Amino acid sequence: MSKQQCLLVTGGAGFIGSCFVLQSRQRGLRVINLDKLTYAGNLENLASLSSDPDHIFVQGDIGNAELIQWLLGHYEPDAVVNFAAESHVDRSILDPEAFVRTNVLGTSTLLRVVKNWWSCLDDAKRASFRFLHISTDEVFGALQPGDPAFCETTPYSPNSPYSASKAASDHLVRAFHETYGLPVLITNCSNNYGPRQFPEKLISLMILNALEGKPLPVYGTGSNIRDWLHVEDHCAAIALVLEQGRTGESYNIGGHSERTNLEVVQTLCAILQEEVPCERRYADQIRFVTDRPGHDFRYAIDCRKLEQELGWKPVHSFASGLKETVRWYLAHREWVEHVRSGAYRDWMVRNYADRV
Ligand code: NAD
Ligand code: TYD
């Protein structure tokens, strides 16, 4: 019998990382989950694994070299999958340095320690090892209507401190392949939605605000465009890239679901009107507020490389995925209550109070 595969997953208590951990356990992989548990990390996302001996949770920072070194030596993972990051654009506008610390310096430390450990492995293990870095389409900058979608060779042109820090981390990952031969892979994905998303991002925030009769703050005119992908489809793509992707390559992942923000919010309001009928119209809660500075107008992803090379296809349509997501938030009120700590309330005041 072949040895059970083992992954070191970082940021596995966050929105996307936890989905990937749950899927990996379903596929029988052993998971060592290293997460700092920032405001966005939540062990309730992994409640179903609480007595699973093949999910080992370790609270810690990807910038802690000694800890990473110990984890690698002790568990000898077959791959490292790096989700750990500060991930919210609005927070990066108010506190860019936190993004540099984790996304740039943290990734740099993680790479260095992994490279040193990997270089001492035997030939077979060194050849089969993978370092997969999870990135975003935002590194490519902004598109105008009619521009061709981002492909893997589109030059990087990040506009926010978040996307700049992710771009820097992507460059470091690539450099470790070119310089040291570390077998890396990078994925650049569009906007995710689905269960367990921290309610600071557009879709999760709007669902909860709508239900509570609060304003639905649409930045600017709501005409900015994002491409939406269900988190489970994203994680399935990551697993495929990890198994079959060519090292040194990057793969774009997208949902073929471009929508303006206003369309997304109006669709959510229509779903809520069906799911939780009430006399008021949820759409009447929409408020156009001061725009985000440096707001990228449009993202769109060309993911033909992933589709044609690796045969990936998303299974969720945006319409059904969005309805399912609304139902998940309705069915998990306790999860919602727990993430809305005092720190969450402080953030809502900090980000929204001064928007006209
Ligand atoms: P998230 O904010 O929900 O989760 C991030 C996780 O990383 C949290 O559990 C947090 O505790 C952990 N973390 C933060 N700093 C850490 C550190 N220094 N050491 C260890 N753990 C740390 O983010 P997400 O939406 O799940 O995004 C995960 C990854 O996917 C990020 O790298 C992000 O850039 C990328 N991504 C996100 C999207 C999206 O739409 N959310 C789209 C494309 C790519
Ligand atoms: P977000 O979910 O923060 O993801 P990203 O900025 O990484 O794309 O935002 C998605 C879009 O929704 C983006 O164009 C900004 C907009 N937005 C609002 O209009 N209002 C809000 O309250 C938030 C959080 C986002």
pTM score: 0.98
Which residues are the active-site residues?
Answer: 137-138, 162
Task: Indicate if the pLDDT at residue 204 is higher than 60.
Answer: yes
Residues 279-304 pLDDT 10s = 999 999 999 999 999 999 999 999 99
Whether 191 lines ligand 2, by a CB cut-off of 6 Å, is yes
Residues with CB under 6 A from ligand 1: 10-11, 13-17, 35-38, 40-41, 61-63, 83-87, 102, 106, 134, 136, 166, 189, 191-192, 198
Mean pLDDT for 175-192 is 98
314 CA distance to ligand 1 centroid (A)?
A: 21
Whether 205 lines ligand 2, by a CB cut-off of 6 Å, is yes
77 CA distance to ligand 2 centroid (A)?
A: 36
Ligand 1 atom closest to Cα of 18?
Answer: 26
Question: Could you tell me the pLDDT band of residue 9, with boundaries at 50, 70 and 90?
Answer: very high
Q: Which ligand is nearest to the CA of 186?
A: 1
Task: Indicate if the pLDDT at residue 1 is higher than 80.
Answer: no
Domains of the chain, each with CATH number or no CATH = 6-196+230-255+295-316 (3.40.50.720)
Q: What percent of the chain has pLDDT over 70?
A: 99
pLDDT for position 344: 87
Task: Indicate if the pLDDT at residue 330 is higher than 70.
Answer: yes
Residue tagged 């820090």 (tokens): 165
Task: Indicate if the pLDDT at residue 208 is higher than 70.
Answer: yes
Residues 44-90 pLDDT 10s = 999 999 999 999 999 999 999 999 999 999 999 999 999 999 999 99
Residues 6+ apart with CB under 8 A from 5: 28, 29, 30, 78, 79
274 CA distance to ligand 1 centroid (A)?
A: 32
pLDDT for position 342: 80
Strand segments (E) across the chain: 6-10, 30-35, 55-59, 79-82, 130-136, 184-189, 191-193, 216-219, 225-230, 250-253, 258-260, 286-289
Nearest to 80, CA basis, from 133, 18, 142, 155: 133
Please tell me the total number of residues recorded for the chain in this structure.
356
Tell me if 335 sits within 8 A of 196, measured CB to CB: yes
198 CA distance to ligand 2 centroid (A)?
A: 13
Residue tagged 């370790």 (tokens): 58
Ligand 1 atom closest to Cα of 198?
Answer: 3
pLDDT for position 2: 66
Whether 261 lines ligand 2, by a CB cut-off of 6 Å, is yes
269 CA distance to ligand 2 centroid (A)?
A: 16
Question: Could you tell me the pLDDT band of residue 343, with boundaries at 50, 70 and 90?
Answer: confident
pLDDT for position 10: 99
For ligand 2, mutation pick of 99, 159, 201 (most atoms within 8 Å of CB):
201
Q: Whose CA is nearest to atom 10 of ligand 2?
A: 202
Task: Indicate if the pLDDT at residue 347 is higher than 80.
Answer: yes
Ligand 2 atom closest to Cα of 222?
Answer: 19
Sign of CA dihedral 42, 47, 51, 52: negative
pLDDT for position 341: 84
